[in-house]
Structure 1
């Protein structure tokens, strides 16, 4: 098989859903992005930052090894809750409970040595649906055509993360953030970097809240503190990861609440949080910890603000944003 390009294509965040007969709309899965390299009897999984994560997800790799072709697929590793919704925080436990895992596949990049990335998305998805074996661990990510507003409202009603909008004729542009793939979120979530933690209070052990930042220019900007979303085991395991990163150097310039009780850490760990809104000061209101992200580099974590649809959406003749 030719040496494939495993860098995933990335989407642009936009501020509202839309209807357009030239676009497909899929579920926005709430998990880890993963590109799969499969051949009869073997398969490997790679994270967004190109780390081989096959050993962490052996059941998924075994399911993918049933594909009767040489293929490179793009998808999302997710864990489903009791209502069938993907939940990022459940992935923290899913590695120990393989039955809860699912690989949702939404694109086919190479097939039997042929590079399909220059073919239209609809054509790639049709080929993907043909080769994907039936397995409780694999799911073809179905789409609707044109009706993006209805798809978004349904996602919001069901408590899902949102929808992906994709240009039906679009090519696959590895490693690029494009205007041919858009994401519309039904809830506010943000990747952040942990730069410190506060001392625990009352009956809580290990730490009170995480001090959070995002990359801005060549430095770090404070965006808030998350003190909820943890159970006892998460507090313990996260504290164990933070202790080796403790530093005397404060990573951020801003003054923060309760600074005297804050322990600073090197900005290495990436977390996912949900929150209600951005304040006028640029901080997250009511951030809740969802889990650590091992598929992102800390220096790639920036404040993600939605672009107006008129600016974000690809138009005929435009290539990318």
Structure 2
């Protein structure tokens, strides 16, 4: 099996939910996308770039022992809060055993050596559901037919990230972003590259805010400062990582409020939530959610519906 076969299919962002009898609607989980290989004593796990991350998520890999068939499965690793909602911010604690981990699976790519990516989505999901056995860490991600608006409203009331709309007859295109899968977000979120940090003020230690960028047409551009959402531990940990990447080279020329800014090489990727994009192409009120280790900085793009 090629590494490219282990890269998940990606969804296109749109701005509003819809109803359609040819589509199904799933929960949009707020976590890390992982493709799993099962069969044998323990499973293997791969990031969305096809890199082996089994050791990093060992408890999930061990839980895949419940699937006795040789399969390649698509899913999302999440951490749940007290209300059962997936929360990206909780994932780092979850890996240390301080929160509830779940691996929600929603597609089946290969089964016993047979390539199922050319089969309709609902057929693949049906086969996936049939091979699963109950386990606290591994859960089937269900779906709702036709009624996307109701699914979206339910997700928004529950404080979830949004929904994924999928054409029921769609095929699986590994590593490609298509319009057969669509994502509709209840809140706006964006991956961003950390390119610098400002000095702390008042009683805060380590740094004040992160300077953020994304790639646009191959060029790194400024998208905002984020100074909220950090725990004391994250301030210290992230500061230590950034200090190792210091550089005298400014990543872009048009940065507001750049006094007392320390620049770093564009290697670190974080997740932020924000209220809206401004006319200048900046995020309004970006709040830090957590660091991402599943995507290289060069692949971070501005995401607009």
Q: TM-score range by the shorter chain?
A: over 0.9
Aligned to 2:78: 78
Deviation (angstroms), 1:98: 6.8
Aligned to 1:314: none
Where do 5+ consecutive residues of structure 2 fail to align? Answer: none
- Calculate the aligned-residue CA RMSD, in Å: 1.1
* TM-score of the pair, normalised by structure 1: 0.93
Q: How does 1:1-321 map to 2 (within 5 A)?
A: 5-97=5-97, 100-257=100-257, 259-306=258-305
Deviation (angstroms), 1:200: 0.7
Query: 2:105·2:139 contact (CA, 8 Å) conserved in 1?
Result: yes
Deviation (angstroms), 1:36: 0.2
Q: Deviations over 1:60-113 (max 9, x none)?
A: 111102211000000000000000000001002111017611100000000001
Q: Deviations over 1:165-190 (max 9, x none)?
A: 00100100001100100000000100
Deviation (angstroms), 1:34: 0.3
Q: Deviations over 1:241-272 (max 9, x none)?
A: 10111100001121321x12100011110000
Cα distance in 1 for residues equivalent to 2:249 and 2:2:
43
Query: 1:41·1:66 contact (CA, 8 Å) conserved in 2?
Result: no
Where do 5+ consecutive residues of structure 1 fail to align? Answer: 307-321
Query: 1:40·1:66 contact (CA, 8 Å) conserved in 2?
Result: no
What secondary structure, in the 3-state scheme, does the structure 1 residue paired with 2:110 have?
Answer: strand
Query: 1:106·1:141 contact (CA, 8 Å) conserved in 2?
Result: yes
Aligned to 1:311: none
Cα distance in 1 for residues equivalent to 2:252 and 2:2:
41
What secondary structure, in the 3-state scheme, does the structure 2 residue paired with 1:90 have?
Answer: helix
